[in-house]
Chain A
Amino acid sequence: MKTLKPVLFWIAVVLVVFLFIFPILWIFVTAFKLRADILSVSMGKLLFFTPSLESFEHVFTYTTIVRELANSAIISVSATVLVMLFALPAAYSFARWNTGGGHLLFVTLSTRMFPGFLAAMAYFFVYKDIALMDTHLGLMLFFYYFNISFATFLLYGFFREIAPELEQAAMIDGYSRFDVLRKVVIPLILPGVAITAVFVLVFNWNEFLFSVLFTKINARTVAVGLAMFWGSIEIQWGPMCAAASMAVLPTLAAAWFMQRYIVRGLTFGAVKG
């Protein structure tokens, strides 16, 4: 019995890990398969196949993947900077003074429950009129709107962990409110700021709804590019997986960075440890 328990535990752990990473691994496996092997119905071809770079060649020859990746990077990063710049002061205000008595925080959070189409619909024709359609700036503004509520809510949890006494002490030392925020509070929650920024960055990188509605060629992001492998005749699984394997690399890097902070980050300050 004593030796059986750890064995069962490890079997369960391996099963869970397998369940969660297998489909992701399959993207990479499929990316290196020939078209015939991808559509093959024989079991043998699932795992034992001759690796090929055919799909990657197709992607680099017939699509604008490099430009799409660059577009995604430019838009995601600039939107993340904007979100952090504006979410930090707002979250601090909510955490320190409970500004608006909780109602305003709820309204802020509720931007995430607005149908994305509500904003998209209202701005579709505006964007056409002022020539923001299919531009980096236009999409960036939507990314910013899409993330500010979540970033504010996450940062709110981090700010709540800072004792007000600390700030009062700094103010007695002659710091202004603004200096307190900049020189005392933000350095203290820097890990929280970092994890929020990475979260926002990942959400931006993965965003699809606004991207597909508001970009065509010039500012097309990689997510929209991926969806285009679904042609009118068939879905090109191989090239799609090849492109996807490149598109998920930055998020895998983000995961590597995040795993240290994640357990702390997701409590939202709701459970005091």
Chain B
Amino acid sequence: MVTNVAEAEAGIPKNKGFWDVLLSEKYFRWTLLIPLLVTLAVFMLYPMFFAIYYSFHTFAPGKPTFFVGLENFRYVLHDTRVFWPALFAMFKILVGCLTVELVLGMSVALLLNREFKGQNVVRGLCLLPLLISPLVVSLVWNYLLQYDYGLVNQVLNGMIHLPKINWWGKNMAIISIILLTSWQWTPFAIFVLLAGLRSLPRDAFEAATVDGSTSWYTFRRLTLPMLSPLILIIIMLRTMWLMRIFDPLYATTRGGAGTETLDWVIFRVVFMYFDLGQGSALSIISLFITIILSFIVFRLLMKSLGVIK
């Protein structure tokens, strides 16, 4: 009886079939989500349970799997030779790229934020790096930054007579990776910020000009706060993507020269040594760090949008 009342309230006619329930006013919103929910279950929940299960086991192909408790985590967290340097390298890349991309992106966005002849062509060209495959980009930069015959060193040495830089050497490689990744992704920041700049209300800026504010003051007090949701969106999305950085490493150092990130360690452990136990423990740690970082930024974003207090 109770269910009938509930169904009547939900606008489901009595004795109607499965489809009517799915298309009813109350459940339609969930019907629309079914494919997505199935996807999440298959590609997110299952791998997660898989990883949690194996993180507590040892695993090697052809050998029996057995329970070892937290041993995998203990081993990984005490691994000062691989784990901690990899984590540190990951944060170096994260901070380096975000800084370069936001500063350069904001400068170029401010530069292009005016009407000029050929503006569409210029914007279109600036967009290109974003669309080229990261693998191709990294391979090309690998070539450009070669020590002997790379273009950058030839220009440095042959034209400005500066010493050649060993771009793929021990301490330099991570900076090269940061540079080429930022080169590719700065356009993303440019276009998000440019779109933001174009949609800012005019009158506030006119008032500021009338009041005689300097342009730096206007930028800091007016432009920057108004753009903060977009800056946070950039930081959030880029953080997620940067933690997963793979192609630039594969195409340049292959994890050598101090550029091994956490995900590269997972790649090595799982797909070269087939050690699913340790690989699972590492992926869970990696996932955990990413979730915490992006959740903090997500909260800030929701606050700046006024969705939550």
Contacts and interface: CB of A to CB of B under 8 A. Distances in A.
A117 B25 contact: no
B126 A20 contact: yes
Given A202-B131, A255-B131, A87 B36 contact: yes
A99 B134 contact: no
Nearest to B229: A270
Given A97-B29, A122-B50, A273-B199, A17 B154 contact: no
A174 interface: no
A113 B287 contact: yes
Interface string A9-23: 100110011011101
A263 B123 contact: yes
Interface in B33-50: 33, 35-36, 39-40, 42-44, 46-48, 50
B1 interface: no
B111 A262 contact: no
A259 to B, nearest CB: 4
A108 B33 CA distance: 11
Contact of B140 (A93, A96, A244, A264): A244
B244 A148 contact: no
Contacts of B305: 270
B308 to A, nearest CB: 9
A268 interface: yes
Decide if the interface of chain A is mainly helix, strand, loop or mixed. helix
Contact of A24 (B129, B151, B158, B191): B129
B195 A263 contact: yes
A49 interface: no
A227 B237 CA distance: 27
B93 to A, nearest CB: 15
B148 A254 contact: no
A251 B29 contact: no
B186 to A, nearest CB: 8
A255 B51 CA distance: 38
Interface in A115-151: 115-124, 144-145, 148
Given A20-B125, A24-B132, A144 B47 contact: no
Interface centre among B47, B136, B247 (most CB of A within 10 A): B136
Contacts of B48: 114, 118
A39 B150 CA distance: 8
A85 B32 CA distance: 11
B58 interface: no
A99 B30 contact: yes
Contacts of A208: 133-135, 246-247, 250
B307 interface: yes
B33 A93 contact: yes
Interface string B230-241: 100100010011
B101 interface: no
Nearest to B239: A113
Given A96-B29, A208-B135, A20 B240 contact: no
B286 interface: yes
A268 B233 contact: yes
Contacts of B279: 117, 121
Contact of B154 (A27, A43, A273): A43
B23 interface: yes
Interface in B110-143: 111-112, 116, 120, 122-129, 131-137, 139-143
Interface of A: 9, 12-13, 16-17, 19-21, 23-24, 26-27, 30, 38-41, 43, 46, 85-87, 89-90, 92-93, 96-97, 99-100, 102, 104, 106-124, 144-145, 148, 152, 176-178, 202, 205-206, 208-209, 212-213, 223, 226-227, 230, 235, 237, 240-241, 244, 247-248, 251-252, 254-256, 258-260, 262-264, 266-268, 270-273
Given A21-B125, A23-B183, A263-B198, 14 more contacts: A20-B187, A21-B128, A23-B140, A26-B143, A38-B149, A102-B302, A117-B271, A177-B23, A227-B139, A227-B251, A235-B143, A237-B143, A262-B123, A271-B229
Interface of B: 23, 25, 28-33, 35-36, 39-40, 42-44, 46-48, 50-51, 108, 111-112, 116, 120, 122-129, 131-137, 139-144, 148-149, 151, 154, 158-159, 183, 187-188, 191-192, 194-196, 198-200, 226-227, 229-230, 233, 237, 240-241, 243-244, 246-247, 250-251, 263, 266-267, 270-271, 276, 279-280, 283, 286-287, 290-291, 294-295, 298, 302, 305, 307
16 contacts: A23-B140, A43-B158, A86-B35, A86-B36, A93-B33, A113-B290, A114-B47, A178-B23, A208-B133, A208-B135, A223-B136, A256-B124, A258-B127, A258-B131, A263-B191, A267-B195
